[in-house]
A and B are shown apart, each in its own frame.
Chain A
Amino acid sequence: MRPLFWVFSALMSVLLLLGDAQLLQARPVSHAGGYTAMGSMSSTGQSLHVHYSPSVKYSLGYRAESYRQWSSMFQGAQLNILLIRLNGEASQANVYFKGAAGMQYALSHSDITKELEPAGFAGLAADWETRRYFVRYEGRLILDASINHMLRQSFRLGIAPYLGDYGELHTWFMGQLDYITATADSHSIVVTPLVRFFYHTYLFEFGISHHGGVLFNFIVRT
């Protein structure tokens, strides 16, 4: 068990050196029996989340995420629960709970065994979309055993310039605002225009934030 942890730690530590994590979008719960892998790389950090949905109501999975604010890495188990789904004739709205528990360690320290501490997060995400428009809000409170906390909020708007059918390439133009509060007097705002490409069950997003940070997200679902 321990070697596996070190392998994950080493691999994800490398990822952190690229930047910081971003709240990754949409659909943390799949259909019954569905697997999903989603990754994010941006100027606020990296994250990788792989989950399985036993039912359409919840999913369970592994999460690794780096936090630039703390120069730290989190790894743990994540639970996503679909609290509300409203299916309209041409729209869909969802409210999700997201919670995770695991271990966090500082990436700046050479011996991470001395830095391991319990950590986790809880949050809510809400989205509404049609085939033309997309709106999403997500907020997460991240805590560790040292009583550090970070509130990460993300708001996104999107529009599809054309409507494709199933199996065709879908394109979205989106704007994302991230507001991150690490302490009472420390916060940061990141604005990122981005383009989303959605083909079959592969989703990719590319963007550049207002201070030049590159955003890359992907979702693969089976």
Chain B
Amino acid sequence: MNYLLGKTFFLTVFFMLFLQSSLGLAGTGEQKASASQSEVTSTKETCKSKVQAKVNGLVCDFCARSLEKVFLKKSEVSQIKVDLKAGVVDISMKEGKTLDDTTIKTLFADAGYDLKTLTKGGCDGA
């Protein structure tokens, strides 16, 4: 009986945490909403700055998630894409917005990773 109670509690805690994250009740939803809003915004933009960063230390999905969380907190950033295989992070800025190199480097450091190279692109549709 105790065994079953313990197992039930443990699994209940686990699935509550799982559901919480899946449904975005603890911040994940905010990001999804932000990302979704960013996608809508991006279709309206004719010009959007892009930055491509080569990053050291990208070895797992926790790494990618950390970068998403840290960069999407910045109002200048509209979208971020992480390519684990290439160790590359593509950052899209909102129209007319930019982040200086020092800030970008600091954001990578805040997420726990080392910026290796930074390449600033042009504008979509330009």
A residues sitting closer than 8 Å to B (CB atoms) are 11, 14-18, 27, 30-35, 37, 39, 41, 46, 48, 55-56, 82, 85, 87-92, 129-131, 163, 165-167, 170, 198-202, 216, 218, 220-222
Contacts and interface: CB of A to CB of B under 8 A. Distances in A.
Contact of B70 (A18, A32, A90): A32
Interface residues of B, number: 43
A103 B110 CA distance: 33
Contact of A39 (B7, B10, B63, B85): B10
Nearest to B1: A17
25 contacts: A15-B9, A17-B6, A18-B6, A31-B70, A31-B110, A32-B111, A35-B26, A46-B6, A55-B110, A56-B112, A87-B56, A87-B57, A87-B112, A87-B113, A89-B56, A91-B59, A131-B84, A166-B61, A166-B83, A170-B60, A198-B61, A200-B65, A201-B62, A201-B65, A221-B21
Interface in B53-105: 55-57, 59-67, 69-70, 73, 82-85, 87
Contacts of A166: 61, 64, 82-84
Interface of B: 2-3, 5-7, 9-10, 13-14, 17-18, 20-21, 26-28, 55-57, 59-67, 69-70, 73, 82-85, 87, 109-114, 116
Contact of A27 (B10, B18, B62): B62
A88 B56 contact: yes
Dominant SS at the A interface?
Answer: mixed
Given A56-B111, A87-B114, A165 B83 contact: yes
Chain B binding surface SS class = helix
B17 A14 contact: no
A85 B112 contact: yes
A2 to B, nearest CB: 21
